[in-house]
Structure 1
Amino acid sequence: MTEKIFTKAQNEIFNELYQIDVNQNVEQKNKLNYLSWAWAWAEVSKRSNSVSYVVERDPQTNLPYYYDPNTGYMVFTKVTIDGFTHEMWLPVMDGSNKAMKAESYTYQVKKYEKYKWTGEYEDKKVEAATMFDINKAIMRCLVKNLAMFGIGLYIFAGEDMPEDVTMFEPAPERNKKTFIKTIEEIAANNNVSLDKAIEMLTETAKVTADDSKWTRGDLGLLKRGTTWLKDQLEAQKKEKSESE
C-alpha cells in the first residue's frame, strides 16, 4: 500500500472543509446520521479549484458494484480534489444495516416483550437488493469519500460540532520566539532561569516543555498563563526577600 503524504495545501483544504457546520443538512435514520450528498458536493465544489469523482465498476460486468453471493453487494468511489485522491467503499445495506444480497434471506434476533427478552428468538427478513438500494449506497459512499477530505467527518466520529483542527498544527516559529522572549523577561525580572520559568508554566498547563513540539493550541494555552506565572514568580521573590 502506498503511503499518502499530505502537503501543506492539502492540509489547508482539510482544515477548511472540516470546520464547516453540516448539522442543518443531516438526516437521522435508525440512530445513524446521513449527510445530503448534493449539499456536500456543492460545498466542496465551491471551495476547491477542481473536484471530480468516479464510481468504480466491476471490470467483469461493467456494473457499478461488486457482488459476492456470501457477503453481498459492495460499492466503491474515488474522489479527487485539487489533484489528491481518496478512495472509499460501502456495503449495500437495508434499514437495519444488514448486508443485502441478490436473494432475500432471514436471520434470527432475540424476541422482546415490554423491553424484556423472552428467552426466545424470532426471524427477521432482509429483502433482496434493488437498483434503488445500490444507488443509495453509491451516494452514501460518495459522502463518506468526501468526508475523508474533511467535510462532515466529525459526524462519523459521533461528535456534535467540528473542532478547530488548526489548533493541532505546529506553532509558528515567529510566535514561539515572541512568547519565549516574554517569558525570558518575566524570568529575568524575578531572578529565575528561563528553563525554570518554562517548566513551571508547562507543568501547570499540562503541556510539554519541548517547544519544538508545541502546537498552536499549546501556545495559546501557555500565553494565557503568563499572568499567572508572573504573579507566582513575584510572590516567590517577595517571600524570599522577606525571609532574608
Structure 2
Amino acid sequence: MKETKELTKFETLLQLNVNGKVEKKKSGNTELTYLSWAFAVAEMEKAYPDWEYNILEFNGSPYQFDEKTGYMVWTEIKAGGKTKKMWLPVMDGANKAMSNVKQEYSVKGYNGAPPVKKFVEPATMFDINKTIMRCLVKNIAMFGIGLYIYAGEDLPEDGENKASEAPKQQKQPIKDLPKIEEFISAEQGIELENLAKQAGVDICKAYKIDKIIDLPFSKFEKCKNALIVKIKAEEFRKAKEGE
C-alpha cells in the first residue's frame, strides 16, 4: 500500500480555494484581483489561533515616505514560529505610485497619436489605510492563503473544480479613436529587473521584448507577482531541504 505524504500546513493552506472571496477591479486594460481582507484574517485565525500582526511605523507614522519614490507601507506577521514581513507602495487606480503632491505623466499614443497627459493625485489617509489592508492580505498569502492569486492563477494547485471557460469574443476596436498603450516606468523596470535576477528569469525572452521597459503596463502586476511567488517558492523549497 502506497504511503500518503502528509501535507504541511503551508501546502494545505496553499490548496485552499479562495476564488469565491475575491473582488475583481478593472484598471485600464488590466483586471486586478483582490482577496477580502476579512476572509484572509478569518482563515489565518483558524490556521494559527495565536498569530500576531503588526503595522510597522516610521517616526510614529504607519508608512514610509520618500519625496522621490512616494509612500510605502509595511506589515509583519508572527505565526507558527516564523516572522514574515510584506511591503506595498501606495498606488492609485492605475497602479501609479502616489506621493504628497500631484504628479503628471504622459502615456504613448497608439499608431502615431500624440501623447496623452495623465495625473496622479496626492495620497490621502484613505489611500494609505486601503494599502495597509492589502499589504496585510499579501503578508497572509506568504503563509499559503490565497498565494496563487499573486501568480495569476485561476485555481489553486490540484483544484478539483476546474471549469472550462468558453473563449471570450474580443470586441472590435473603434477605428476612429486612437488606442492608448501604456508602458511601465523606469522605476518599475528596475523593480522587475531586480526580481528577475533573484528568480533567475529572463523577462525579455519570456515576453518577446527588446528591453524590460517595453513591457506593457497592463502586464506589470502579473509579471511582478509571478516573480515574487517564484522567489518565495524557491525559498520554501530550500528551507524544506534544509530541515
Give the TM-score range, shorter chain: 0.5 to 0.7
Partner of 1:148: 142
Matched, 1:83 2:76: no
Written as runs of structure 1 = structure 2, the 5 A alignment for 1:205-220 is none
Structure 1: gaps (5+ residues): 1-8, 166-244
Partner of 1:103: 101
Give me the whole-angstrom Cα distance separating, in 2, the residues matched to 1:162 and 1:122: 39
Written as runs of structure 1 = structure 2, the 5 A alignment for 1:156-235 is 156-164=150-158
Q: Secondary structure at the match of 2:46?
A: helix
Give me the whole-angstrom Cα distance separating, in 2, the residues matched to 1:146 and 1:73: 21
Partner of 1:66: 64
Stretches (4+) displaced over 2 A: 116-119
Q: Which of these two proteins has the greater Rg computed from alpha carbons?
A: 1
Offset of 1:86 from its aligned partner? 0.9
Q: Secondary structure at the match of 1:149?
A: coil
Partner of 2:125: 131
Structure number having the greater helix percentage: 1
Letter paired with 2:139: N
Matched, 1:50 2:55: no
Matched, 1:26 2:22: yes
Deviation track 1:151-208 (CA, whole Å, cap 9, x = no partner) reads 000010011111149xxxxxxxxxxxxxxxxxxxxxxxxxxxxxxxxxxxxxxxxxxx
Give me the whole-angstrom Cα distance separating, in 1, the residues matched to 2:9 and 2:54: 20
TM-score (norm: length of structure 2)? 0.59
Give me the whole-angstrom Cα distance separating, in 1, the residues matched to 2:146 and 2:56: 23
Offset of 1:82 from its aligned partner? 2.1
Offset of 1:118 from its aligned partner? 4.0
The answer (yes or no) to whether the contact 1:110–1:117 under 8 Å persists in 2 is: no
The percentage of aligned residue pairs carrying the same residue is: 53
Q: Secondary structure at the match of 1:54?
A: strand
Structure 2: gaps (5+ residues): 1-5, 160-243
The answer (yes or no) to whether the contact 1:49–1:82 under 8 Å persists in 2 is: no
Give me the whole-angstrom Cα distance separating, in 1, the residues matched to 2:120 and 2:111: 22
Offset of 1:50 from its aligned partner? 1.6
Once superposed, what is the RMSD of the aligned Cα atoms? 1.7
TM-score (norm: length of structure 1)? 0.59
Give me the whole-angstrom Cα distance separating, in 2, the residues matched to 1:117 and 1:92: 32
